[in-house]
Amino acid sequence: MRRRFHKVIAAVAGLVVVGCLALPALFHAMGMHPAYVGVVHRMPPGSRALIVTTSHTQLGDTGRKTGVFSSELTEPYYAFLDAGMRVDIATIEGGEVPFDPMSYLWFVVAPSDRRARRDPDFAAKTRTTLKIDAVDATSYDVLFLSGGWGAAYDLGPSDVLAERITQAWAAGKVVGGVCHGPLGLLKARDESGAPLVRGRRITAVTDRQVHQLGITLTPQHPERELRLAGALFESSTRFLEILANHAVKDGRLVTGQNQNAGEEVAEIMMATAGGVPRRR
C-alpha cells in the first residue's frame, strides 16, 4: 500500500513538473510574447529613446501590488539599445520603477525580462529613474509609453507628461506606446492645439481584455478613454484577449494593443525616426 501511495505521489509530482514546463511553451504558442520576425533597425549615432512608465504601486484598495508590466519596458528597452540608441527611463514621480508581480509569473515572463535580470545597467536605471518634470522630451528621437495596470492611475491624469508629449510632437519626434501606455496621450496636443489622439488610428488594451482579467476598478480603461477622446480605435481579438496582438502606425504615432507588441512597436518607431534595416 505504501509503495502504491509513493507511486501515485511521484506520478502527480511528475505531472505537476511537466505542466509547469509545458505551460510557458503553450502560452507562447497561443500568442503570448510572440517572437518578433520583422525588420530590425540601426539608428544613426547619437540617437536617443525615452521610455516612460508609471510610478503607481497599488491596485486600488485591494492590497495587491501593481506597476509596469515588465516586458512592456524590457522589450522596447532592448530593441532601442540593440539599435545603438541611448535609452533613458523616466517615471511620473521619479525614483524606482514599480514592476507588476504578475508580469514575472513563470508562464508569462518574457525573454527580455530574463535578459534584464542579468543586466546591471538596466537595474541601475530602473532604481533611479528620471522624473518626467525634469525631462527635455525634445532631446529624444522617440518617446515610448509603457503600460501595465499602474499606468491606468497616473499616465492619463499627468499634465506634465501631456506637456512633454506635446513638446516632443511639435518638435517632430516619434511618439508611441503599448497596453495602458497610450493613456498618456489623452491630454497631449498636436501642432494645431487639437487633442493629439483625435481622428488618429490608435490601439491599446481593449475593454474586453479588462473585463476578461477582471480588473475593472482602475480609474481609466484605454479603449473607453481613447474612443471618448475621438481616437479611431482598432484592435484584434482572440478567445483570450491577452493573447491578441495588434500594432498600428498613424504618421509619427505608433501604438500596440498589449504586452505582445512591445518590440514590434519599438521597431516601427525606429523605422519612422530614420532607422535603417540591419542584420540580426
DSSP for the chain reads -HHHHHHHHHHHHHHHHHHHHHHHHHHHHHTSSPPP-S-EEEPPTT-EEEEEE----B-TTS--B--B-THHHHHHHHHHHHTT-EEEEEESS-BPPPBPGGGG-TTT--HHHHHHHT-HHHHHHHHSBEEGGG--GGG-SEEEE--STTHHHHTTT-HHHHHHHHHHHHTT-EEEEETTGGGGGTT-B-TTSSBTTTT-EE----HHHHHHHT---SS--HHHHHHHTT-EE-----SSGGG---EEEETTEEEESSGGGHHHHHHHHHHHTT-EEE--
C-alpha cell at 194: 487639437
Q: Region 243-251: what's the mean pLDDT? A: 97
Alpha-carbon gap, residue 106 to 95, rounded angstroms: 27
User: Between 32 and 12, where is the model more confident?
Assistant: 32
> Residue 3 — very low, low, confident or very high, per pLDDT cuts 50/70/90?
low
Contact 156, 225 (CB under 8 A): yes
- pLDDT of 254 > 50? The answer is yes
C-alpha cell at 263: 518590440
Alpha-carbon gap, residue 215 to 209, rounded angstroms: 9
- pLDDT digits over 66-119, tens only? 999 999 999 999 999 999 999 999 999 999 999 999 999 988 899 999 999 999
- pTM here is 0.93
C-alpha cell at 272: 519612422
* pLDDT at 98 (0 to 100): 98
* pLDDT at 102 (0 to 100): 94
> Residue 55 — very low, low, confident or very high, per pLDDT cuts 50/70/90?
very high
What is 240-268 written as a DSSP string?
A: SGGG---EEEETTEEEESSGGGHHHHHHH
* pLDDT at 22 (0 to 100): 80
* pLDDT at 29 (0 to 100): 87
Cell match 473585463: residue? 211
- pLDDT of 272 > 90? The answer is yes
C-alpha cell at 234: 482598432
> Residue 6 — very low, low, confident or very high, per pLDDT cuts 50/70/90?
very low
